[in-house]
Amino acid sequence: MDNLNELKDGLRQIVVSGCPDKGTSKRGGDSRAKAIEDAIAGIQNDPDETLLKGYIGIKNYAAFGDQREDHSINMGPRHGTIVFSVCRQRGYVGRIGVSAIALLEATRDFPAVPDGEDQYRRKRYLNLCDVLARREKAENELDWCDAALTPTS
């Protein structure tokens, strides 16, 4: 349960959007895994400033495959679409800590999309951050329902 709480704390600090385990670069290698590693290194080196003014992104454009695209907040590429990103939670200005690193590592290591899945079905797979956010939302809704059904004296 401590690991889950640590990951939840990481979700309060950063957001990881998109599927981290698929994608290829025309130059070879996995640019999404490299983006996660760069985010981890940035947090370890400068937890106060990392991701404060921008985000780490991966775009996909036409037949060019994944391409690294880091941008300022609310900015994006001229061509293509950001398909994977790591950024601070909106409004979070504190130090990004070890729980964010744990979240990035868990996201990186979350089970991959099965090979052979077509593009439409692949988009339906969730990354770990989506799973945790949906779980927390469900827990909050259950707490609200429980409170609403509890008789007051």
- Surface-to-core class of residue 16, CB atoms within 10 Å of its CB (0-12 exposed, 13-18 middle, 19+ buried): buried
d(CA 146, CA 33): 41
Residue numbers of the domain that contains 43: 2-149
Q: Are 47 and 36 in contact (CB under 8 A)?
A: no
Number of domains in the chain: 1
What token pair was written down for 33? 């895994």
pLDDT digits (tens, 9 = 90+) for 32-85: 888 999 999 999 999 888 898 889 998 887 777 788 888 887 777 877 788 889
pLDDT digits (tens, 9 = 90+) for 87-127: 998 888 888 999 999 988 888 877 655 555 555 444 555 56
Q: How many CB atoms neighbour CB 48 within 10 A? A: 10
The amino acid sitting at 110 is F
Q: Which residue has the higher pLDDT, 54 or 149?
A: 54
pLDDT digits (tens, 9 = 90+) for 17-35: 887 766 655 554 588 888 9
